[in-house]
Amino acid sequence: MRDGEVIGEGFHAKLGDLHAERAALADCRERGEDPAGATMYVTLEPCAHEGRQPPCVEAILEAGIARVVIASEDPSDKASGRGPGILRDGGVEVEFAAGEEATAARLLNQPFRKHARTGLPLVTLKLAMSLDGQTTTPEGESPWISSPESQGLVHRWRAESDAIAVGIGTVLADDPLLTARPDPSGVSYARYAGKTHTGTSRQRLRVVFDRQARLPLDSQFLRTLDQAPLLIVTSQNADPSRTAALREAGAETVVAEGIDAALADLGRRGIASLFLEGGRTLAAAFVAASAIDEARVFVAPVLLGEGERIEAVGPDAEDTLIETRFKEW
């Protein structure tokens, strides 16, 4: 920014692309603006190491930026304070934001921050339940408890995650796809987020916790491997012939005894965020392992106890979304 006017903007669009700082400087050039003497505002401290992209501090110094305001620090070992130090040595004024801006930046980067500090993915649990605490509908009814609008929001959350997980019980009951599918209009529902989301949904790794390798070979998961990859987490007790058949069908399998071991394996694969869907048993296992970082629970205005479904407060009532953050990284 210069004199209160934005002269360039940028963000890290995808792995391997320009980092936000270099993208913003490129935007400056496209606008015909000279960034020399300007102030740069960044969400995360500029990197000072060589990775898939060169260090951002070099680009900032070369551009002649006079001041850099950083919303949050980078907790990874290869960064953590190096960038700001190099900028100061180069004559750039460096300031760290505080208050609401700093908090918002840390929350925006929670998956990155947890993975950098622990090597594990941030785990977000999604549940849909009735007013009386039921998570499944009576046999013969639609399996959906939540509304189409909240289902659309779930697809957006899937697209924003690195991996999506489900338990084998849910797979056997529902045979889901677990892909991120946008609304036919091209806009995902986002009433709860307060904004709309457009564009093509990116397909992420699908993970099935299946200790005994019971996933049917004719499941939608295996029929749609061309749409999204599949990882099946089994145990040492799984039938070797079953795991071999799943691998021959195109799935990847991994033996992991317990939630902690499974999360460690995902972390080594570079998975920084895991969206946990479907399966009361699996959710309970994650809770018992203290592995849940965030929970997003839709409470539908219905009663699903014994007998038929009862619309508790009228058919036009909206779901209530309850979001809880258990840990901050």
Whether the model clears a pTM of 0.85, i.e. scores above it, the answer is no
Is residue 138 a contact partner of residue 282, using CB atoms and an 8 Å limit?
A: no
Q: Domain check: are 321 and 174 in the same one?
A: yes
Q: Domain check: are 213 and 90 in the same one?
A: no
Is residue 248 in some structural domain? Answer: yes
* pLDDT score of 150 more than 70: no
Q: How confident is the model at residue 26 (pLDDT cuts 50, 70, 90)?
A: very high
Structural tokens at position 165 = 């997980």
Active-site pick, 5, 9, 21, 306: 21
Q: Rounded mean pLDDT of 177-201?
A: 48
What are the angstrom distances between the C-alpha of 229 and each of 157, 225, 302?
A: 18, 6, 35
Higher local confidence (pLDDT), 145 or 99:
99
Q: Domain check: are 146 and 93 in the same one?
A: no
Higher local confidence (pLDDT), 321 or 310:
321
Q: How far is residue 138 CA from its own chain's centroid?
A: 31
Is residue 4 in some structural domain? Answer: no
Q: Domain check: are 29 and 140 in the same one?
A: no
Which region among 165-169, 268-272, 280-284, 320-324 has the lowest average model confidence (pLDDT)? 320-324
Is residue 15 in some structural domain? Answer: no
Q: What pLDDT, on a 0 to 100 scale, did the predictor assign at position 54?
A: 92
Q: Domain check: are 169 and 89 in the same one?
A: no
* pLDDT score of 320 more than 80: no
pLDDT tens digits, residue range 255-268?
A: 999 999 999 999 99
Percent of the chain with pLDDT over 70: 83
Structural domain range at position 292: 113-325
Q: Domain check: are 144 and 85 in the same one?
A: no
Is residue 235 a contact partner of residue 257, using CB atoms and an 8 Å limit?
A: yes
* pLDDT score of 199 more than 50: no
Split into its structural domains, the chain has a count of 2
* pLDDT score of 104 more than 80: yes
Active site residue 160: no
Residue 268 sits in a domain whose CATH number is 3.40.430.10
Last residue of a domain, one of 48, 72, 107: 107
Q: What pLDDT, on a 0 to 100 scale, did the predictor assign at position 134?
A: 65
Q: Domain check: are 102 and 121 in the same one?
A: no
Helix 110-118 / helix 99-108 crossing angle, nearest 10 deg:
70
Q: Domain check: are 88 and 190 in the same one?
A: no
pLDDT tens digits, residue range 202-223?
A: 578 999 999 999 999 999 999 9
Q: Domain check: are 61 and 210 in the same one?
A: no
Q: How confident is the model at residue 201 (pLDDT cuts 50, 70, 90)?
A: very low
